[in-house]
Structure 1
Amino acid sequence: MTATQLIVNFAGLGVIAWIVWWFWLYKRDSVQAQTQEGGMQEIDVTVKGGYQPALIEVKAGQPVRLNFTRREASTCGEEVVLPAFGQRAHLPENETVTLEVTPQGPGEYEFTCGMNMYKGKLIART
């Protein structure tokens, strides 16, 4: 094997390792949703290479307003899906789309892009 082949192989392995770390191993910090007057919890979520924030802590049994704003042209971020709540929405670029859900009990409620590559979670606590 030549030196060039070794460099290309190691570079490829490095890229694969980074992808595995980013999509499956990287642990993001959670953010607490802000409770508004009337008990509505609200948080702004930016869609750009993933969801920021990706982990959102909320109070179970209270309504949550998620304001998604897509800041990228990638087609992966065009849709958000909240399977536990039976909701999905198209996210036009640079526009805010609001979804309201109520996690009835404690637990983790996933939201993803339409391709299931971007992932986020509502973490409902009592």
Structure 2
Amino acid sequence: MSTAQWIVTLVGLGLITWIVWYFWLYRRESVQAHAKEGGMQEVDVTVKGGYQPAVIEVQARQPVRLNFTRREASTCGEEVVLPAFGQRAHLPENQTVPLEVTPAQPGEYEFTCGMNMYRGKIIAR
């Protein structure tokens, strides 16, 4: 095998390793939702190369307002889907779109982009 082939192989393996780490193994910090007047829990979520924060801790059986703001032109972030709640929303660039859900039980509830590449979750306790 020539030097060029080794370099291409090593770069390819490095790229594959980075993709696996970023999309499946990287653990993002969790954020606790803040309770507002009337018991509504609220969190601001920025969409830019993923969700920030991607892990949101809330109280079960209390309403949660997620304020999604898309800060990128990528088409991947144009839509957010919350399958457990039967909700989806279009996210125009640089506009905040609130979504309200109420986790009925403790557990984990996933949310994704329309292409299922960006991933986040709500952890209800």
TM-score range, shorter chain: over 0.9
Alpha-carbon separation, structure 2, partners of 1:71 and 1:16: 27
Structure 1 residue 109: Cα displacement:
0.5
Tell me what 1:34 maps to: 34
- Please give the per-residue CA displacement for 1:82-120, whole angstroms capped at 9, x wherever unaligned: 000000000011111000000011000000000001000
Alpha-carbon separation, structure 1, partners of 2:119 and 2:25: 12
- Equivalences for 1:1-126 in 2 at 5 Å? 1-125=1-125
Alpha-carbon separation, structure 1, partners of 2:26 and 2:54: 11
Q: Percent identity?
A: 80
Alpha-carbon separation, structure 1, partners of 2:44 and 2:29: 15
Alpha-carbon separation, structure 1, partners of 2:90 and 2:29: 26
Alpha-carbon separation, structure 2, partners of 1:37 and 1:96: 20
Structure 1 residue 55: Cα displacement:
0.2
The number of aligned residues is 125
Structure 1 residue 5: Cα displacement:
1.1
Alpha-carbon separation, structure 2, partners of 1:12 and 1:110: 31
Could you tell me which runs of 5 or more consecutive residues in structure 2 were left unpaired when the two chains were aligned: none
SS in 1 for 2:112: strand
Task: Compute the RMSD of aligned alpha carbons.
Answer: 0.5
Alpha-carbon separation, structure 2, partners of 1:68 and 1:81: 11
Could you tell me which runs of 5 or more consecutive residues in structure 1 were left unpaired when the two chains were aligned: none
SS in 2 for 1:14: helix
Structure 1 residue 29: Cα displacement:
1.3
TM-score (normalised: structure 2) = 0.99
Once superposed, which parts of structure 1, at least 4 consecutive aligned residues long, lie more than 4 Å away? Answer: none
